[in-house]
Amino acid sequence: MSAPRSILAPAAPAAEILAKLGWPALVGSTAVALVMAILLVIVAVRRTGSFAEHGPVHARGGMRWVVIGGFVIPGIAFTAAFVATIGSLRAFPMSDGSTSRPDIRVIGHQWWWEVDYRMGDTSQHFKTANEIHLPTDRPVDIELVSADVIHSFWVPRLHGKVDLIPGLVNNIQIRARQPGTYQGSCAEFCGLQHARMRFLVVADAPSDFAAWIARMRQPAQPPASPQASRGETVFMGGPCPVCHSIQGTRALASAGPDLTHIGSRQSIAAGWLPKDVATLHAWILNAPSLKPGVRMPELTWFNGPDLHDLVAYLEGLK
């Protein structure tokens, strides 16, 4: 994508409405900036004259320009923006959460996103982290909640900013028009790693989404190699199950991201780092050195062979 986070390149109805507001705002602010620049140049180069050529300091005059520039023009601009915004709010696609349960529940944590898929009956629910898959050309209701502080869910090309406030529930509706990967981030300062609290929204064709859902509902597959089997032993025998879950195993904790299918994800560390072998090694060994403030502790006691086996196990969790 040439403009992965541009609000002026919408790919969903909600973003299109915001873009229609954004273009006039961009043109208007550019025009104001240009006029101000011209006025500053005029003031800088004009001949100022002397006191003898001007009225006394206490002389009245010039109020017309104060009224026009200070009240009339701003009043027209703000009124136009207000009317346009109210009209857009009426057409904005939002889910009020009153008719049925949401398709997806997104929970903001410091500093990662928990994604709870609630499509189908309870036995079909599952969780992922930091990547949200949606079917194209279908409205998807998303519930937004916070586990700690105020966060803000923002996918510029799909939807506007919506806050996640402790104790409150917000609901939005996203309808991606075409397949693609859309970048999102937290848009409300939430602590030390706010800038690295990112996520991806992956819009899949309906058939691809159905296949992805079916795969995600399955428990973790048994290790496919002796190295991965040793890695499973390392995982279960270490501190990992205290925070993480892998469905189909005895690791059922929820303090950290669900790792059942981590091998299929594009990134780790809430979208900040690529999910490759080298980065997984570094992250497991000393996550705080890569993302200071993260709650995952240093695990520097892992020796080389155990670390290699553990990474092989995680990579195989597709």
CATH number at residue 235: 2.60.40.420
Does residue 147 form part of some domain? yes
pLDDT at 61 over 90: no
Same domain, 210 and 235: no
Does residue 178 form part of some domain? yes
Give me the count of residues in the chain: 318
Nearest to 80 by CA among 25, 8, 15: 25
Calculate mean pLDDT across residues 175-187: 92
Which stretch of 33-42, 49-58, 115-124 has the lowest confidence by average pLDDT? Answer: 49-58
Same domain, 189 and 110: yes
Distance of CA 139 to the CA centre of its chain: 18
Same domain, 270 and 175: no
Given 183, 198, 216, the domain boundary residue is 216
- Between CA 221 and CA 191 the distance in angstroms is 36
Phi, psi of 219 (to 5 degrees): -70, 170
Q: What is the predicted pLDDT for the residue at 225?
A: 92
* Entry pTM: 0.82
Give the highest mean pLDDT range of 44-48, 94-98, 200-204: 200-204
Q: What is the predicted pLDDT for the residue at 40?
A: 81
Same domain, 234 and 188: no
- Residue 94: which pLDDT band, with cuts at 50, 70 and 90? low
Q: In one letter, which amino acid is 257?
A: P
Q: What is the predicted pLDDT for the residue at 116?
A: 95
- What's the domain count of the chain? 2
pLDDT tens, position by position, 190-249: 999 999 999 999 999 999 999 999 999 999 989 989 999 999 999 999 899 999 999 999
Same domain, 208 and 231: no
* Contact assessment for residue 191 and residue 45, using Cβ atoms and an 8 Å cutoff: no
Across the chain, mean pLDDT equals 87
- Between CA 68 and CA 164 the distance in angstroms is 41
- CA 304-129-12 angle, 5° bins: 140
Calculate mean pLDDT across residues 138-143: 92
Gyration radius of the chain over CA positions = 26
Distances (CA, A) of 188 to 14, 116, 153, 159: 20, 22, 8, 15
pLDDT at 189 over 90: yes
Q: 86-95 contacts: CB < 8 A, separation 24 or more? A: 88/17, 88/18, 88/20, 88/21, 91/17, 92/14, 92/17, 93/13, 93/14, 93/139, 93/173, 93/175, 94/171, 94/172, 94/173, 95/139, 95/141, 95/142, 95/171, 95/172, 95/173
- Between CA 115 and CA 94 the distance in angstroms is 19
Q: What is the predicted pLDDT for the residue at 55?
A: 64
Distance of CA 106 to the CA centre of its chain: 11
Same domain, 212 and 231: no
Calculate mean pLDDT across residues 94-116: 83
Calculate mean pLDDT across residues 3-15: 80
Residue 280: give the domain boundaries: 226-315
pLDDT tens, position by position, 256-291: 999 999 999 999 999 889 999 999 999 999 999 999
Does residue 27 form part of some domain? no
- Between CA 21 and CA 155 the distance in angstroms is 17
Phi, psi of 163 (to 5 degrees): -80, 150
- Between CA 311 and CA 263 the distance in angstroms is 10
Q: What is the predicted pLDDT for the residue at 101?
A: 80
DSSP state string for 93-111: ----S-SS--SEEEEEETT
Q: What is the predicted pLDDT for the residue at 25?
A: 80
Helix axes 304-315, 277-290, angle to 10 degrees: 110
Residue 168, Cβ density class (10 Å: 0-12 exposed, 13-18 middle, ≥19 buried): exposed
pLDDT at 85 over 50: yes
Q: What is the predicted pLDDT for the residue at 1?
A: 43
Given 177, 195, 216, the domain boundary residue is 216
Given 155, 189, 216, the domain boundary residue is 216
- Residue 65: which pLDDT band, with cuts at 50, 70 and 90? confident
